[in-house]
Amino acid sequence: MTPSFFDEGALVAVLTTQPLDRALDYKAPEGGCHLGAFVEVPLGPRKVLGVVWGAGTGDYDYAKVRSVMRVLDVAPMRDEMRTFLEKAAAYTLTPMPAMLRLATRAPGLGDPPSMRKVYRRGPSEPDRMTDARRRVLEFLAEYGDLAFTLKELADLSGVTSSVIKGLVKQGAVAEEDSPRDLPFAPMDPGRPGKALTEDQARAAGHISAAVKVGTYGTTLLRGVTGSGKTEVYLEAVAACLAAGRQALVLLPEIALTAEFLKRVEERFGARPAEWHSGATMTERRRIWRMVGQGNAQLVIGARSALFLPYQNLGLIVVDEEHDTSYKQEDGVLYNARDMAVLRASLLGAQVVLASATPSLESWANAESGKYTRLDLEARFGPAVMPTMQTIDMRTETLPSNRWVSDTLKRAVDQRLENGEQAMLFLNRRGYAPITLCRACGHQVGCDQCDARMVEHRFLKRLMCHQCGETKPMPTTCPSCEAEDRMAPVGPGVERLGEEAVALFPDARVAVLSSDMYGSARALKAEIEGIAAGAADVIIGTQLVAKGHNFPNLTLVGVIDADLGLQGSDLRAAERTFQLMRQVAGRAGRAEKPGTAMMQTFQPEHPVIRAILAGDEEGFWRAEAAEREAAGVPPYGRMAGIILSGPDVAQVFDAANALARNAAPLTRVGAQVYGPAPAPIARIRGRHRVRLLVKAGKGVALQGAIAQWVGQVHLKGDLRLAVDIDPQSFY
C-alpha cells in the first residue's frame, strides 16, 4: 500500500505537467510531504509544477536524485482525483501530464495568497471632525466590523480617498492586509424555492432523495424547454448543499448568462463561483483554491470546471447534455458529459443530465436501465409547445439570391403587426459560404486548409472557418485574373440580415452570430437586450438555440431545414432533430403560443416528419434501430485516428504502416478502415489522414489501440491523435 506521508529524504514519484512519459523520482523535502502534495521540483535548469503520485521507483542512484524544492500551500490532491485523472487518461488515451495540466488550470497556484489593503474602524477619534470624515465614520459604524477596500469605502461613503488616508494617519480608520483569495459567501439551501408542479415535485423529490443517500447514480431529466428542468435541478442542488456537499452545474459556455446566474443567486441568496473562459487569472486562482478548501459550495461552469479539486462533491448537473460543445475538440479530446459520469461514480455522487433533446447515447443508457429517466411532460404555466409546419420549397417561387419564401414572409409580417418578435434561423455564419469567379468558376479557398473561404462582410474579409485565417476580398480572380467578376454564392446570416432589412423595412433587424461580437460577454449582453425587446426580427445561427428566453418571440422560421441532413456524419439526423426542436422551443415561451416554420425541399424525410409530429420517442427508436443495425455508437464502439504532417506522402506512409500492422486490433475483433484523407484534408498547412476503428460494444478498445499506435515511431513533424467516441468527423 502507498503510504500517505513521506518523511524527509524518502523517494517519491512526482508527476509533472511536462510532456514526459512517466513520473520522476525525487527526495521528499525537509518536513516531508503528503501523498498528493502539490510540489515544485527541479527539472533540468527549470522548476516545474508537479504532484506527489506515489512512492519513488528507486531505479536511480539515490545520491543523484534531486529533492523536491517546495511543497505548495494548497490542499494535497485527493485520492479520488488522482484515480479520476488516471481513469480519464486511460479512457481518452491522453498522457498523464496533459491530464494534470487540465486539473491545474489556474496560474500561481502555489504562491502565497496575494494581499490587498482593507479598511475598517480604528481605535482613535480624529483630531478634527469634517463633514466628509463624519460620513466615513458613520458609514463604518453602520457596518460594524466589516472591512472595505479603499475604493469601496470612498465610493460608498461619498468621499475622496485622501479623506480616508487622513483618517488612517490619525488612527480613526485602521489599514490592514487581507488575502485576496476570499472564501465565497455561503449558499443558503434553506431559502424557499418556487412552488413546484406535481411533475416537477416528483422529479425533484427523486433526485434529492438520491443525493441524500450519497451514492452514485445518473438521472436523465428530460423535458421540453420551459418545463422547469432548471427549477428541478436547483432543488437537487439545495439538497446537496444541505447535506454539506459541494455541487457543480455545467453549462455550455454560451448558456452561462447573467440571467441564469441571477436566478441561482436568488435561489440561494449568494453568488456562486463562476468558472468560464472569460474569468480573470485572479478569479480562476481564487476559485481553484476555494473549491479545494470547501469554501466554494456551488460552482457554475463550462466544461473544464469538472477538473477543479473539489473537496466533497455530491452532485454534478450537466445542463443541455446533448450539446456538442461538451466535447473538447483539441488538446485533450474528452467529453465532459461522460467524464462527469466517471467522476461521480468514483465519488459516490449523483449526476443529472438535463435536456429537451437528449443525445442518443443518454437515451439508450436510460432505455437499458443504466440511467434513471425522469420526464417533465408540459411546459410550465400557460405556454404550450409551438405549432410545427413545413414550407415545401418545391412549390415556392423565389427570385435568385432570396431565401425567405412568401409564406414565411407573410407570417413574419403578421407577427410584426401584432408587435411580436420573429426569428429567422440559419446555421451559417458570415455573408456567403462561397465566393466564386463568374468568369472561370474558381472558388476562393484557404491557402492553409482544404476549405472554402467564407465572406464576412461585417469584417470586410474572407475567413477560413477551419483555421481562422483571413484575407481581403479579392477584386480580381486569383485564378484567371478577370476583374470585378467575384460574386457571393448562397446565404449566411449576414446576407439573410440584408434580405430581412429589404423585406421588412419598418422592423428592427438584429443579426446574432458569435463572430460579430468582441467577446462572449458582449454577445450575451446583446442577446439579453434583444430578449428584452430591442429587435423585431432576429437572425441567428445555432447559438440562439441554446437556453435563452425570448418571451415575446412567437415565430421561428427555419431557412434551410435540410442543411443538417446532408453530411455523411453519423449524427447528422440526431443533430438536425435536436437543433430544430430547440429552435422551435424558442418560440412562445411566455404567454403567447408560438409557431415554427421549416423551409424544406424534402418534407417527406423521416427526420422532418418526426419533428413535425413531435414524435420524439418515435424518432429515437428509429434512429436507434438504424445505428444498432450498423453496429455504430452507442451500439458499437468507434475511435478516430488522425495522422498529420507537412508532407502528404510521409503522412500516408505512416498511416498505411499502421493499417498493415493492425494485429493488436484484429485480435480483439476490431476493424480498421482507411487510411483516407480526413474530411478536411489540410488544416494550417498540415495534411491530415484518418483511420477509423470500429468494434463491438464489449471490446476493450483503448488497450488495443494503445498497443497498436505504440508500434509506430513518429518521425519528424508527424503527429498522431486518438479520438475515442468521435463526435464530429473532420
Q: Which residues in the 380-409 window bind ligand ADP by CB under 6 A?
A: 380
* CA distances, 183 to each of 74, 81, 156, 290, 296 (Å): 14, 22, 23, 6, 7
Among residues 16 and 225, whose Cβ is nearest to ligand ADP?
A: 225
- Please give the Cα distance from 348 to 341 (Å, whole number): 10
> Closest distance between ligand ADP and the C-beta of residue 226, in Å?
4
Contact between 600 and 392 under an 8 Å Cβ cutoff? The reply is yes
Binding range to ligand ADP, per CB under 6 A, among 11-19, 61-69, 156-164, 225-233: 225-233
Contact between 385 and 379 under an 8 Å Cβ cutoff? The reply is yes
Contact between 337 and 135 under an 8 Å Cβ cutoff? The reply is no
**Can residue 446 be called a binding residue for Zn ion (CB under 5 A)?**
yes
CB within 8 A of 361, min separation 6: which ones? 633, 634
- Please give the Cα distance from 605 to 564 (Å, whole number): 12
Binding range to Zn ion, per CB under 5 A, among 229-237, 366-374, 446-454, 705-713: 446-454
Which residue in the set 228, 272, 309, 675 belongs to the binding site for ligand ADP (CB under 6 A)?
A: 228
Among residues 552 and 644, whose Cβ is nearest to ligand ADP?
A: 552
> Closest distance between ligand ADP and the C-beta of residue 230, in Å?
3
- Please give the Cα distance from 306 to 17 (Å, whole number): 18
The C-alpha cell at 328 is 473538447
Q: Which residues in the 191-220 window bind ligand ADP by CB under 6 A?
A: 194-197, 200
**Can residue 225 be called a binding residue for ligand ADP (CB under 6 A)?**
yes
> Closest distance between Zn ion and the C-beta of residue 714, in Å?
24
Among residues 32 and 193, whose Cβ is nearest to ligand ADP?
A: 193
With CB under 5 to 8 Å by kind, the binding choice for 197 among Zn ion, ligand ADP, none is ligand ADP
Contact between 69 and 25 under an 8 Å Cβ cutoff? The reply is no
**Can residue 464 be called a binding residue for Zn ion (CB under 5 A)?**
yes
> Closest distance between ligand ADP and the C-beta of residue 231, in Å?
4
Q: 420: closest CA among 224, 225, 593?
A: 593
Helix (H, G, I), strand (E, B) or coil at 469: coil
Q: Cis peptide before 3, with omega less than 30 degrees from 0? A: no
For ligand ADP (CB under 6 A), the number of binding residues is 14
> Closest distance between ligand ADP and the C-beta of residue 195, in Å?
6
CB within 8 A of 525, min separation 6: which ones? none
Q: Cis peptide before 634, with omega less than 30 degrees from 0? A: yes
DSSP H or E stretch at residue 584: helix 572-585
Binding range to ligand ADP, per CB under 6 A, among 226-234, 310-318, 670-678, 695-703: 226-234
Other Cβ atoms less than 10 A from the Cβ of 97: the count is 20
- 169 by Cβ neighbours in 10 Å (0-12 / 13-18 / 19+) ranks as exposed
Binding range to Zn ion, per CB under 5 A, among 448-456, 547-555, 658-666, 697-705: 448-456
**Can residue 469 be called a binding residue for Zn ion (CB under 5 A)?**
yes
**Can residue 229 be called a binding residue for ligand ADP (CB under 6 A)?**
yes
* CA distances, 117 to each of 161, 175, 646 (Å): 13, 6, 54
Among residues 544 and 683, whose Cβ is nearest to Zn ion?
A: 683
Among residues 167 and 444, whose Cβ is nearest to Zn ion?
A: 444
> Closest distance between ligand ADP and the C-beta of residue 588, in Å?
12
**Can residue 355 be called a binding residue for ligand ADP (CB under 6 A)?**
no
With CB under 5 to 8 Å by kind, the binding choice for 460 among ligand ADP, Zn ion, none is none
> Closest distance between ligand ADP and the C-beta of residue 219, in Å?
14
Which residue in the set 325, 466, 595, 727 belongs to the binding site for Zn ion (CB under 5 A)?
A: 466
Which residue in the set 449, 462, 573, 639 belongs to the binding site for Zn ion (CB under 5 A)?
A: 449
Any idea which residue has 422560421 for its cell?
557
The C-alpha cell at 4 is 500517505
* CA distances, 192 to each of 233, 267, 268 (Å): 14, 7, 9
Binding range to Zn ion, per CB under 5 A, among 178-186, 469-477, 506-514, 606-614: 469-477
Indicate the pairing of strand 11-16 with strand 46-55. antiparallel
CB within 8 A of 169, min separation 6: which ones? none
Any idea which residue has 491522453 for its cell?
94
Binding range to Zn ion, per CB under 5 A, among 252-260, 381-389, 467-475, 500-508: 467-475
The number of C-alpha atoms within 13 Å of 406 and in the hemisphere containing its C-beta is 6
CB within 8 A of 312, min separation 6: which ones? 244, 245, 246, 294
The one-character DSSP state at 424 is E
With CB under 5 to 8 Å by kind, the binding choice for 464 among ligand ADP, Zn ion, none is Zn ion
Among residues 267 and 284, whose Cβ is nearest to ligand ADP?
A: 267
Binding range to Zn ion, per CB under 5 A, among 214-222, 461-469, 511-519, 608-616: 461-469
Contact between 207 and 233 under an 8 Å Cβ cutoff? The reply is yes
Which residue in the set 227, 295, 427, 582 belongs to the binding site for ligand ADP (CB under 6 A)?
A: 227
Torsion of CA 230, 231, 237, 241, to 10 degrees: 150
Among residues 346 and 384, whose Cβ is nearest to ligand ADP?
A: 384
Which residue in the set 35, 273, 467, 607 belongs to the binding site for Zn ion (CB under 5 A)?
A: 467
Helix (H, G, I), strand (E, B) or coil at 445: strand
> Closest distance between Zn ion and the C-beta of residue 454, in Å?
10
With CB under 5 to 8 Å by kind, the binding choice for 420 among Zn ion, ligand ADP, none is none
Among residues 68 and 462, whose Cβ is nearest to Zn ion?
A: 462
> Closest distance between ligand ADP and the C-beta of residue 383, in Å?
8
Among residues 229 and 276, whose Cβ is nearest to ligand ADP?
A: 229
* CA distances, 362 to each of 69, 369, 392, 546, 623 (Å): 46, 11, 33, 19, 13
With CB under 5 to 8 Å by kind, the binding choice for 231 among Zn ion, ligand ADP, none is ligand ADP
**Can residue 582 be called a binding residue for ligand ADP (CB under 6 A)?**
no
- Please give the Cα distance from 542 to 526 (Å, whole number): 15
Binding range to ligand ADP, per CB under 6 A, among 224-232, 529-537, 601-609, 642-650: 224-232
Q: At 665, phi and psi to the nearest 5?
A: -85, -50
Which residue in the set 25, 40, 181, 231 belongs to the binding site for ligand ADP (CB under 6 A)?
A: 231
> Closest distance between ligand ADP and the C-beta of residue 523, in Å?
20
> Closest distance between ligand ADP and the C-beta of residue 362, in Å?
16
The C-alpha cell at 501 is 432589412
Which residue in the set 208, 230, 350, 466 belongs to the binding site for ligand ADP (CB under 6 A)?
A: 230
Q: At 611, phi and psi to the nearest 5?
A: -65, -45
CB within 8 A of 244, min separation 6: which ones? 312
Which residue in the set 50, 217, 226, 594 belongs to the binding site for ligand ADP (CB under 6 A)?
A: 226
With CB under 5 to 8 Å by kind, the binding choice for 466 among ligand ADP, Zn ion, none is Zn ion
With CB under 5 to 8 Å by kind, the binding choice for 449 among Zn ion, ligand ADP, none is Zn ion
With CB under 5 to 8 Å by kind, the binding choice for 204 among Zn ion, ligand ADP, none is none
The one-letter amino acid code at 74 reads V
- Please give the Cα distance from 201 to 197 (Å, whole number): 6
- Please give the Cα distance from 679 to 631 (Å, whole number): 22
Binding range to ligand ADP, per CB under 6 A, among 136-144, 229-237, 461-469, 560-568: 229-237
- Please give the Cα distance from 646 to 216 (Å, whole number): 47
Among residues 184 and 380, whose Cβ is nearest to ligand ADP?
A: 380
Residues in the site for ligand ADP, rule: CB under 6 A? Answer: 194-197, 200, 223, 225-231, 380
Residues in the site for Zn ion, rule: CB under 5 A? Answer: 446, 448-449, 464, 466-467, 469
